[in-house]
């Protein structure tokens, strides 16, 4: 773990990169659990709403199309990482 990175950022990166290597059904379940957990334990903010929205869009794409573009994955990763790093 990078010492300058928050535990949330580390968890987000591990979850997103790990899910990217899974089949869409498994990735969807893992990501949905992650989105639900961050919404339950973190105070609501506009930045959290942005990050959750990006993750939810990714999950919806995986559910509806069985795949997501690199851009969709990258946007979700970057948005969540940005939120996590600003929350430190």
Residues spanned by the domain of 52: 7-86
Residue 88: Cβ within 10 Å count: 10
The 3-class secondary structure across 58-78, one letter per residue, is: HHHHHHHHCCCCHHHHHHHHH
pTM: 0.82
Q: What is the pLDDT of residues 53-74, one digit of tens each?
A: 999 999 999 999 999 999 999 9
pLDDT of amino acid 88? 61
Per the domain annotation, does 26 fall within a domain? Answer: yes
Per the domain annotation, does 56 fall within a domain? Answer: yes
Per the domain annotation, does 2 fall within a domain? Answer: no
Per the domain annotation, does 72 fall within a domain? Answer: yes
Q: What is the total count of domains within the chain?
A: 1
Residue 31: Cβ within 10 Å count: 23
Residue 45: Cβ within 10 Å count: 12
Q: Could you give the CA distance from residue 46 to residue 82 in angstroms, rounded to a whole number?
A: 12
């Amino acid at each position: 773990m990078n010492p300058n990175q928050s535990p949330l950022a580390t968890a987000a990166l591990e979850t997103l990169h790990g899910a990217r290597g899974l089949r869409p059904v498994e990735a969807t379940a893992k990501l949905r659990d992650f989105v639900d957990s961050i919404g339950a334990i973190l105070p609501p903010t506009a930045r959290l709403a942005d990050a959750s929205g990006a993750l939810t869009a990714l999950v919806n794409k995986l559910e509806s199309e069985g795949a997501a573009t690199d851009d969709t994955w990258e946007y979700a990763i970057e948005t969540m990482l940005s939120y996590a790093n600003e929350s430190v």
